[in-house]
Amino acid sequence: MSNEQPTVPIRCEQCGTETRLPLDTVGDALDRHNETRHDGEQIATVDPAIREQVAELAAADLGLKEEP
CA atoms of 30 and 42, how far apart (whole Å)? 8
- Amino acid in the structure at residue 41: E
The whole-number average pLDDT for the span 59-63 is 88
Q: Specify if 1 maps to a domain.
A: no
Question: Residue 67: is its pLDDT beyond 70?
Answer: no
Q: Specify if 35 maps to a domain.
A: yes
Contact (CB, 8 A) for 5 and 24: yes
Q: Specify if 25 maps to a domain.
A: yes
pLDDT tens readout for residues 24-57: 999 999 999 999 999 999 999 998 888 888 888 8
* pTM, 2 dp: 0.71
DSSP state string for 33-57: HHHHHHTT---SEE-HHHHHHHHHH
Q: Specify if 57 maps to a domain.
A: yes
Its domain, for residue 15, covers 7-61
Domain tally, the chain: 1
CA atoms of 19 and 62, how far apart (whole Å)? 30
